[in-house]
Amino acid sequence: MIAFVYRQLNDQANQYLAARLPEGIQAIFRSDLKSDEYRRTFEQADFVLGNPPRDWFSTPPAQLKFWQLSSAGFSEYEGMTSPVPVANMGDFFARPCAETIVGGVLAFYRGVHTLTKLQLKKEWQGEKARPFLRLLGEQQAIVLGAGAIGACVKEMLQGFGCKVRMTARTNPAAEIHSREELLKALPQTTLMINTLPGSAEKYVTAEMLNALPAEAVYASVGRGETTDEQALITALRAGKLAGAVLDVTEEEPLPVDSPLWEMDNVILTQHTGGGKSDELTGIARQFIDNLQHFLKKEPLENTIELSRGY
């Protein structure tokens, strides 16, 4: 049997995976193939790790038995029907994403982004910077989304002393359950953090951004397409927002002509939110664990229904 590792891993993760595959299963790594061999190898696979192009599943391999996504999100496959069990990475990326976005927001309030630029220019301007610094713990925060990332963000913000509410349509952990409730709450909100999945395309609109007070900070660590980026740029330029912390953008890599690169009140963390030193080995480990569950006919971890979007 063949396990096609479509996700590009590093040597350490490849070795980890290969050494732990059950007997009788051969790993074929995308990194060992030429691009014109990817599709043919997929068509021969019994097990797949990674996120191949959606159109490959129009005629899925007859022998395919289990598919492990290497991401938590799967908006590119939403509405698709899979003939085999599918699992995602669950909350694997939740804490690193939360730490990135909360760390970025904290850096913004404490002026770290400005002070770093001054350091590069060897300019000592600390006394001038002090009056503009703010405390994260004094903010009134709303977290868009009550999933694993949103829950971690809320936990961390509360650790700093923030008052935090989450939004979700039905999740009982959220305090806000409709767009109307959210719009009503935004004028009193000084920090809004977006953790929404890609299915919530353009959820954050000009109306929302303009409803926030001028001292508010907007942050996003979910998916770039959930924010109307042009509306965000317009709000930042007009001084309707104090700033933004963005781990994700509508187009990635962010085009070199995007105004976001040069805005002094924007921090870009370049979609590093889910990263950590053992990230790729962790992905391989989760695949091996679920593969063992599958072969033993045990329940899989983090199974999803692509057709339902969750």
pLDDT at 310 over 80: no
- 243 has which bridge partners? 217
For CATH 3.40.50.720, the residue range(s) in the chain are: 2-90+276-295, 94-268
When pLDDT is cut at 50, 70 and 90, the band that residue 307 belongs to is confident
pLDDT for 98 = 98
Catalytic residues, by residue number, are 223, 271
Supply the pTM of this predicted model. 0.94
Over residues 31-89, the pLDDT tens digits come to: 999 999 999 999 999 999 999 999 999 988 999 999 999 999 998 998 899 999 999 99
pLDDT at 122 over 80: yes
Higher pLDDT, 78 or 154: 154
Mean pLDDT of 206-211: 98
| CATH code 3.40.50.720 for 94-268 | yes
pLDDT at 308 over 90: no
Over residues 223-261, the pLDDT tens digits come to: 999 999 999 999 999 999 999 999 999 999 999 999 999
For the chain, what is the mean pLDDT?
97
Rounded to the nearest 10 degrees, how much is the dihedral formed by the CA atoms of 270, 271, 274, 277?
-40
Q: Write down the CATH superfamily of domain 2-90+276-295.
A: NAD(P)-binding Rossmann-like Domain (3.40.50.720)
pLDDT for 163 = 98
Over residues 126-142, the pLDDT tens digits come to: 999 999 999 999 999 99
Query: 191-194 and 163-167 as β-strands: parallel, antiparallel, unpaired?
Result: unpaired
Mean pLDDT of 288-310: 94
